[in-house]
Amino acid sequence: MYRLTLCISCLFVLWLIGPHKGVAQEQGYLKLRTDRIQNARGVEQQALAQNDSGQLAEAWYLYGKTYAFAGDYHTAQRYFLKSLRIQEPRGDSDELSRLYVRLSENEDVLGRPEQAIQLATRALQIAQRIKQNREKALIRSNGTLGRIYEGMWLRQVPRRQTLYDSILTYYRKELNFCYIIKDTAGIAESTMHLGTFLTRGNDERAIPYLKQALDFFTQKNKDGIRVRAMANLAAAYLTFDKPDSAIQVLQKAEQFYGDRKLNEYDVRMLLEHELVRYYEKTGQWPKAYTHLRQLNALERGQILSDRDGAISRLSVEYETEKKETLLRAQNKEIKLNEQNLRLQRLVTWTTIILFLLASGISVVFFRLYRKNRRISRQNQELVKEQNHRVKNNLQIVSSLLNLQAQQLPDPTARRAVEESQMRVQAMAILHRRLYDGEQLARVDLNDFVRELVSSVLETFGYANVAVELTIEPIYLSADKAIPLGLILNELITNSCKYAFPDNDSPTLCISCRQKGRNVHLEVADNGPGLAKTQVPVLQGEDWNVGAQGSFGMSLIQAQVAQLNGVGHFEEVAENATSGTVFVMDFNV
């Protein structure tokens, strides 16, 4: 226990004194293998040329495998599902069982074991029914179920013996079917699965199994899985207190990985994990810390990329829905205008022909008047429906971002999603002010700023902050109010994050005055100032974007540019207190 505590303390000290510059941000998905992409593209082009749906399904399957090897499991899942839509109607087959296995593996990696088990069980059921390539399909499905249940077993406290026995059964079935069809590569992979599992069960029979698997992969020149087998063998050596043998295998694995220019995400993570274990076990803390940082970079890179991908998909879906709504409203308006035009022509000809029949003409005009009123009411309903849908869409985006933030384990990623949610809320407030008020498509700046300040302060738990607002009666159009709202949202958020904590009497001052066509905005707080908070500063037209808050400051810069305005930050020191002031001027 003392040794473990010492190890953790040493790693923590190294983390405190070591450089932190952008480790996680530098690592995203691994690069895609160009040869695999070209192969999938060739199959796809040939399938389209021959109008062969089966070959097209195979092309999408190959795309999915390529993205899965690079760690982009969401993109891989989309390609697998596209392939499944073609293969499923064709009935049971080896290809269909194989697809369910891939989908199951992705679900397991994405942290959804229940869905993974359902998909893997479906693959096993299909494999048991087919005749062609039946043994290969049974090998894949049994092995996948063993690995999924093994992950569940590792997370159990205490670990159940019944589940342990079930996992051994699946792995042994996988190995037996490999021997039945004399599949050397399959025997090697199944042997490795069994050896790795025995290592986790502290059974020393693992080492002979893993050595046998490594010999098989070496003979078959299977580069990627050969490195995985070496890493698993090193893990077994470390588990059974043989660090010298472990480092020899790990060094060979690293050299082989570099010489063959491999680029497989999970293999690289496995190597880094075992290197960390070895250096911890041998007390080489600087090296352990270096490899631990590399491992964390791989893991956090995947989380950040998934987050950015989720936000991008939400943005695209929102913009698409908004454009479709506007297009439908425009089409209806065109049809109504055409109807009005036809009616006006009819009225003109009727007036010329029936000029002497005043009573008849009066009846016609009366009917036209009623119809025009009905059309006008329809137009009003269409506008209300459009605004209602936009508000609903903004609420949906905000709710989805909230759900995504609750599921993110990384505080940095969660905070970024929460800040994006606040920006969406700011746009929702602005939309309500623009279209629910008496001034259509114009916003009363005083009411809008008060509601925005209240919303942000309540979100951060600073509802009792002293707020001084000096805002002249100013009405802004939508194209001016939206950038200004986003700027104010970012400035108030920065005050809540950097100025109000540890401040006994936090104060926020906002003033907005108009002279002619020029609007002058000032936002000030009584925080510690820019130098102490290290917030990025805008001086004139140059930004100094640091590591903290760079996205928010970049957003402010973009919105100032959209307003064709100029702005800068100032530091204020008065009576031993300090604060920060943002000043901006723009034309309306």
Q: What is the pLDDT of residues 13-22, one digit of tens each?
A: 333 334 333 3
Which pairs count as long-range contacts for 110-116, CB under 8 Å and 24+ apart, including other chains?
110/73, 110/74, 110/77, 113/148, 113/151, 113/152, 116/148
DSSP code of residue 262? -
Structure tokens that stand for 502 in this block: 């540890």
Asked whether 247 and 278 are in contact (CB, 8 A), the reply is yes
446 in any annotated domain: yes
**Burial class (CB within 10 angstroms; exposed 0-12, middle 13-18, buried 19+) of 448:** buried
Angle between helices 184-200 and 206-220 (to 10 degrees): 150
Residues spanned by the domain of 526: 441-588
How many CB atoms sit inside 10 A of residue 512's CB? 20
The three-state secondary structure class of 86 is: helix
Q: How far apart are CA 64 and CA 81, in angstroms?
A: 9
For the chain, counts of helices (H) and of strands (E) = 21, 9
pLDDT of residue 388: 63
* In a domain? residue 424: no
Contact 104, 116 (CB under 8 A): yes
Q: Strand pairing partners for 511?
A: 470, 522
Which positions ≥6 away from 367 have C-beta within 8 Å? Answer: none
Domain assignment present for residue 457? The answer is yes
**Residue 320 located in a structural domain:** no
Please report the pLDDT score of residue 33 as a whole number.
Answer: 79
Calculate the dihedral angle through the C-alpha atoms of 230, 103, 139, 154, rounding to the nearest 10 degrees.
Answer: 60
Q: How many CB atoms lie within 10 A of CB 219?
A: 12
Domain count for the chain: 1
Tokens of 29: 């998905």
Dihedrals phi, psi of 282, to nearest 5 degrees: -95, 5
For residue range 253-310, what is the model confidence (pLDDT) as tens digits? 888 888 888 777 778 888 888 889 888 888 899 888 888 888 888 777 666 655 555 4
Q: Which two tokens stand for residue 45?
A: 């082009």
Spatial distance between the Cα atoms of 367 and 379, rounded to a whole number of angstroms:
19
CA distance 209 to 195: 5
Residue 495 belongs to some domain of the structure: yes
From CA 552, how far away is CA 564, in angstroms rounded? Answer: 19
The per-residue pLDDT for 583 is: 94
For position 8, what pLDDT does the model report? Answer: 38
Contact status, residue 87 vs residue 125, Cβ threshold 8 Å: no
How far apart, in whole angstroms, are the C-alpha atoms of residue 175 and residue 527? 66
CA dihedral 173, 175, 178, 180 (to 10 degrees): -60
Residue 237 covered by a domain: no
> pLDDT digit of tens for each residue in the chain (588 aa)?
334 333 434 433 333 334 333 333 334 456 677 888 899 899 999 999 999 998 999 999 999 988 888 888 888 999 999 999 999 999 999 999 999 999 999 999 888 999 999 999 999 999 999 998 899 899 989 989 988 998 888 888 787 888 888 898 998 898 899 989 988 878 888 888 888 888 888 888 888 888 888 888 887 777 777 888 888 888 889 888 888 888 998 888 888 888 888 777 778 888 888 889 888 888 899 888 888 888 888 777 666 655 555 454 455 445 656 666 776 777 788 888 888 888 888 888 888 898 888 777 877 777 777 777 778 677 666 756 666 666 667 667 767 766 776 777 877 776 667 667 666 766 666 666 566 655 556 788 888 889 888 888 888 888 788 899 999 998 888 788 889 888 998 888 888 888 888 888 889 999 999 998 999 999 998 888 765 544 444 444 444 444 344 677 888 888 899 999 999 888 665 544 568 899 999 998
Whole-number Å distance between alpha carbons of 159 and 166: 13
φ/ψ of 540, rounded to 5, equals: 65, -115
Task: Report pLDDT for 88.
Answer: 92
We report the CATH number of the domain holding residue 574 as 3.30.565.10
Report which DSSP code applies to 562.
Answer: H
72: tokens are 């982009």
First to last CA, the chain: 68
- Is residue 54 a part of any domain in this protein? no
DSSP string, 183-218: -HHHHHHHHHHHHHHHHHTT-TTHHHHHHHHHHHHH
Closest by CA position to 63, among listed 29, 39, 84, 89 = 39
DSSP 31: P
Q: Which residue has the tokens 């990623």?
A: 413
- Token reading at 256: 């082989």
DSSP state of 408: -
Task: Give rounded-to-5 percent helix, strand, coil for the chain.
Answer: 75, 10, 20
Among residues 72, 68, 74, 65, the alpha carbon closest in space to that of 39 is found at: 65
Q: Which amino acid is at 466?
A: A
Q: Is residue 512 part of a domain?
A: yes
User: Over the range 407-440, which residues count as b (16 or more CB within 10 Å of their CB) and which as e?
Assistant: ebeeeebbebbbbbbbbbbbbbbbbbbbbeeeee
